[in-house]
C-alpha cells in the first residue's frame, strides 16, 4: 500500500501542520521584520505560489539558507529548500553586478591570485571600502578575505610524486577558499592524512560548488558547475577513491543542494564524498593511530556551522577535538554566526548579519577560549572580525597538535 508515498511532494510541504516551531529558530526573523519567516515563506507561501506565481514574495531573498528551520521541523518539511527553490523558479530578475562578483568565487580568485599582495593591500584600505560601499553596496565594515599568492592546487601538484608514494589514497575537494585564500588549511589536511599513511590527490579540475551562485540568482551557472563536479568526483570514485572535504558548506551543496535545488542527480557524490573529519575519525575508530605532542594545551570552543548541523556531522569534529590530549573542550550553543556566505557582505544585510551573530559572539567572549574551532570558512571570517578571537578548522588544530 503506497498511497501515502504517492501523495508526498518533493519538499514535503503538505506535511506542515502549522505548529510554528520553525519560526522560533529562524535567525533572520529575530532581526529583520521585512522577512516573512520560514513558515510563511515556505509551506504557507508555496500553497499560494502553486495557485499563481503572482504570490511570489521578493522578500524571500532575506532567507540565509541556514536550514535551521528544516533542522527544527518535527514533520520533515524541507522548509529552506522550498524557499530557495521558489527563488529559483519565480525570481527571474537579473542578478546585480555586485551579486555576480560575490558569487563567482573561483573566477574572482583566479583573477586576484597573481596580484595577491596588491589586492590584499587595496581591499584593506578605507577608501576602497568606501568606494565599494557606495558603488557596489558591499558593506564598508566588512573585512575582506585575503588572497594567497600561490594557489593550493599549484602547491599540491608539486607534491604529487611524494603523495603518490603513500599506500592509501584519497582525492580532496578543496573548494575556492583553500585554493585562493587559505592554502594552509589544505596543507594541514595533507599533514594529518599523511600521518595516517594516506596520500592526497587533486580531482581532475574541480569547480566552485556553486552555493553562492544558487543564493544569488545564478542557478544556471550553478547547474553547470554541479554537472562538472559530479563528473569529476564520479571519475575519482571510479578509481576507488574516497573524496574528502574541509568545508561544511561545499559538502552540503555537493551532497544535498545538487539534487534538491538544481535537480542534478548525484548518487556517486553521496556514496564517495565525506568531510575529512569523518574520514579521519573512522580511520582512528578502526585502529589507526595519531601521535600527539605531549606539550599541546589549548582551550577550544567549538562552533557548529549551520550547514554542518544540517549534515549532522559535527559529531566527528567534536569527537576528534576531544580526543587530543591537552584540549579543554567547550561546545558553544547552537547559533548562526550571521554571515551566511555572501549574505553578510551585502550592505542591506550587514546590520542583520551582526545582530544574528551577537549571541554567539557574546558566548565566545564569556568562554574566552584560546581558539574557536569551526569547519566553515565564512563563519571564520565573521567570528574573527566580530570577536577578535582566532578561528581554526578542526583539521588545522589536529595538524598543530601532531608530533
Partner 1 sequence: MKFNTVIIGGGLCGLTCGIALQKAGRSTAIISTGQNALHFFSGSFESLTEAPARMADLFGEAGIRLHYREGVRLMPLGTFRPAALSLEDISFFPKPKIGEKALIVSFKRYHDFFAAFLADGLEKQGVACRIEWLDLPELEQLEKSPSEMRSVQIARTMDRIWEKVVGEIRALVQDEDIIILPQVFGLKDTSVPIRIRESLPAQVVFVGTLPPSVPGIRTQMLLKRRYELLGGTYLTGDEATDAHVHEGRVHSIVTKNLDNHFLEADNFVLASGGFFSKGLKSNPFHIFEPVFGLDVEQAENRSDWYHPQFMHDQPYMAYGVKTDAALHALREGAPMQNLYAAGSVLGATRPEFGSGAGLAVRSALAVVDQILKTEAE
- Which parts of this chain interact with partner 1 (CB under 8 A)? 1, 3-4, 17, 19-21, 23-25, 29-30, 33-37, 39-40, 44, 70-76, 278, 282, 285, 309-313, 315, 318-319, 331, 333-334
Residue 204 C-beta: closest distance to partner 1, Å:
26
2: buried, middle or exposed (CB in 10 Å: 19+, 13-18, 0-12)? exposed
Report the half-sphere exposure of 368 (CA within 13 A, side-chain side): 1
Which residue's CB is nearer to partner 1, number 142 or number 307?
307
Which residue's CB is nearer to partner 1, number 39 or number 174?
39
Contact 386, 378 (CB under 8 A): no
Residue 392 C-beta: closest distance to partner 1, Å:
21
Residue 95 C-beta: closest distance to partner 1, Å:
25
Residue 40 C-beta: closest distance to partner 1, Å:
5
Please name which of 303, 323, 281 lies closest in space to residue 375, comparing C-alpha atoms: 303
**Residues 6 or more apart whose Cβ sits within 8 Å of residue 306:** 64, 66, 67, 68, 336, 340
Overall residue count recorded for the chain in this entry? 403
Residue 316 C-beta: closest distance to partner 1, Å:
9
Residue 255 C-beta: closest distance to partner 1, Å:
10
Which residue's CB is nearer to partner 1, number 28 or number 176?
28
Query: Apex CA 210: angle with CA 393 and CA 24, to 5°?
Result: 70
Sheet holding 298-302, edge to edge: 327-331, 298-302, 371-373, 391-392
Backbone angles phi, psi at 57, to 5 degrees: -110, 120
Residue 250 C-beta: closest distance to partner 1, Å:
17
**Residues 6 or more apart whose Cβ sits within 8 Å of residue 213:** 103, 104, 219, 221, 222, 225
Which residue's CB is nearer to partner 1, number 19 or number 125?
19
Which residue's CB is nearer to partner 1, number 30 or number 85?
30
Output the DSSP codes for 120-162.
HHHHHSHHHHHHIIIII-B-TTPPPPPPPSS-HHHHHHHHHHH
- For residues 397 and 293, what is the distance between their CA atoms, to the nearest angstrom? 12
Residue 359 C-beta: closest distance to partner 1, Å:
8
Which residue's CB is nearer to partner 1, number 59 or number 195?
59
Residue 260 C-beta: closest distance to partner 1, Å:
14
C-alpha cell at 301: 570552543
Which residue's CB is nearer to partner 1, number 74 or number 263?
74
Within 10 angstroms of residue 24's Cβ, the number of other Cβ atoms is 13
Which residue's CB is nearer to partner 1, number 73 or number 119?
73
C-alpha cell at 30: 529575530
CA torsion sign for 258, 256, 336, 315 is: negative
Amino acid at each position: 500500500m503506497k498511497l501515502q508515498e504517492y501523495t508526498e511532494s518533493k519538499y514535503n510541504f503538505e506535511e506542515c501542520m502549522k505548529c510554528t516551531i520553525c519560526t522560533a529558530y529562524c535567525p533572520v526573523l529575530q532581526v529583520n521584520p521585512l522577512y516573512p519567516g520560514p513558515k510563511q515563506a515556505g509551506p504557507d507561501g508555496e500553497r499560494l505560489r502553486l495557485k499563481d506565481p503572482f504570490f511570489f514574495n521578493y522578500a524571500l531573498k532575506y532567507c540565509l539558507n541556514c536550514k535551521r528551520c528544516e533542522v527544527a521541523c518535527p514533520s520533515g518539511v524541507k522548509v529552506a529548500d522550498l524557499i530557495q527553490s521558489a527563488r529559483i523558479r519565480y525570481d527571474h530578475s537579473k542578478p546585480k553586478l555586485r551579486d555576480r562578483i560575490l558569487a563567482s568565487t573561483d573566477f574572482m580568485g583566479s583573477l586576484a591570485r597573481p596580484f595577491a599582495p596588491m589586492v590584499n593591500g587595496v581591499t584593506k584600505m578605507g577608501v576602497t571600502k568606501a568606494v565599494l560601499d557606495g558603488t557596489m553596496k558591499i558593506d564598508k565594515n566588512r573585512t575582506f578575505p585575503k588572497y594567497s599568492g600561490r594557489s593550493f592546487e599549484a602547491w599540491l601538484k608539486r607534491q604529487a610524486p611524494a603523495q603518490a608514494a603513500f599506500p592509501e589514497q584519497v582525492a580532496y575537494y578543496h573548494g575556492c577558499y583553500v585554493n585562493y585564500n587559505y592554502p594552509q588549511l589544505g596543507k594541514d589536511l595533507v599533514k594529518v592524512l599523511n600521518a595516517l599513511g594516506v596520500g592526497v590527490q587533486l580531482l581532475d579540475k574541480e569547480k566552485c560548488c556553486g552555493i553562492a551562485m544558487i543564493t544569488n540568482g545564478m542557478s544556471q551557472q550553478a547547474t553547470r558547475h554541479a554537472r562538472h563536479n559530479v563528473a569529476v568526483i564520479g571519475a575519482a570514485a571510479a578509481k576507488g577513491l574516497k573524496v574528502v572535504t574541509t568545508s561544511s558548506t561545499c559538502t552540503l551543496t555537493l551532497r544535498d543542494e545538487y539534487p534538491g535545488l538544481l535537480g542534478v542527480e548525484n548518487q556517486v557524490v553521496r556514496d564517495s564524498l565525506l568531510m575529512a573529519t569523518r574520514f579521519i575519525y573512522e580511520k582512528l575508530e578502526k585502529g589507526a593511530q595519531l601521535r600527539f605532542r605531549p606539550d599541546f594545551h589549548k582551550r577550544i570552543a567549538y562552533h557548529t556551522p549551520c550547514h554542518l548541523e544540517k549534515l549532522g556531522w559535527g559529531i566527528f569534529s567534536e569527537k576528534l577535538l576531544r580526543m587530543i590530549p591537552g584540549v579543554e573542550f567547550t561546545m558553544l550553543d547552537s547559533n548562526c554566526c550571521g554571515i551566511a556566505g555572501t549574505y553578510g557582505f551585502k550592505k542591506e544585510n550587514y546590520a542583520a548579519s551582526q545582530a544574528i551573530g551577537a549571541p554567539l559572539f557574546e558566548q565566545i567572549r564569556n568562554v574566552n577560549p584560546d581558539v574557536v574551532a569551526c569547519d566553515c570558512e565564512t563563519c571564520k571570517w565573521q567570528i574573527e572580525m566580530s570577536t577578535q578571537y582566532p578561528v581554526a578548522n578542526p583539521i588545522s588544530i589536529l595538524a598543530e597538535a601532531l608530533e
